Amino acid sequence: MTAPASVAFSGLMPAAGTRVVVAGGCGGIGRAFVAAAQAHALQVIVLDLESSIRENPPPAGVQAIACNALHEDEIKHAMAQVHSTWGGACDAFVNLVGYTRERTLVEHLPSAEWDDILSGTLRSAYLLSREAIPLLRAGQTPALVHTSSTFGVRVALPGYGPYAAAKAGVINLVRALATELAPVIRVNAVAPGAVETAFLKGGTSQPEKSVRIDVDQLAQ
């Protein structure tokens, strides 16, 4: 019986010097991603809210550009700065932007709150993609990655209707983009489960949530 062949995961990593833009790079998942990217000698630019950059500044060597993904003009301005820094190209764009609010059943949900969550999660994904595509077309083996959620596939808790709808929309936006941009730009989505971040601690701290998710099952 032969031993299973080992897999050299290092060979799957992007080449040193790969230019990566991380939208939402100052959050919990974003900071972990940026640290991993730096460990593999990637070039990184972070886009995030000015307040987030101030509270969780990126490490040395990472350029931070203030950008509110709710505002189209700010996204255009941020991507113009990326264009200037890297000569009109980037090799990968990772979108971690998205949020929800306090748990509210749809029958009690104000339309303004629905619009806000859809804008901050789904509309922002569209705007960021649209502005990133020209830079990615000029990049090396370019890739566009959006973060969805398990809520976009299966809704396990009541009260997250707009967030679940937005994340499901992100998944189908990714499918549309993958069809439109192939074979030049690879487009994928990842759908994390529960991750121990300020987002989870602040937005899903109800007793029902603590019953359903064991602390040992939280990604860190």
> Which sequence positions are flagged as catalytic?
163
What are 116's two structure tokens? 């806000």
Q: Report residue 140: phi and psi, to 5°.
A: -100, 125
Of residues 95, 94, 93, the one with CA closest to residue 137:
93
Give residue for tokens 């003009």.
Answer: 73
Query: What CA–CA distance (Å, rounded) separates 81 from 184?
Result: 23
Which residues, in sequence order, are CB contacts of 43 under 8 Å at separation 6+? 17, 18, 19, 20, 86
Give the 3-state secondary structure of residue 29: helix
Q: How far apart are CA 47 and CA 67, in angstroms?
A: 6
CA atoms within a 13 Å half-sphere pointing along the CA-CB vector of 17: 5
CA–CA distances in Å: residue 114 to residues 81, 118, 126, 150, 201: 31, 6, 17, 19, 21
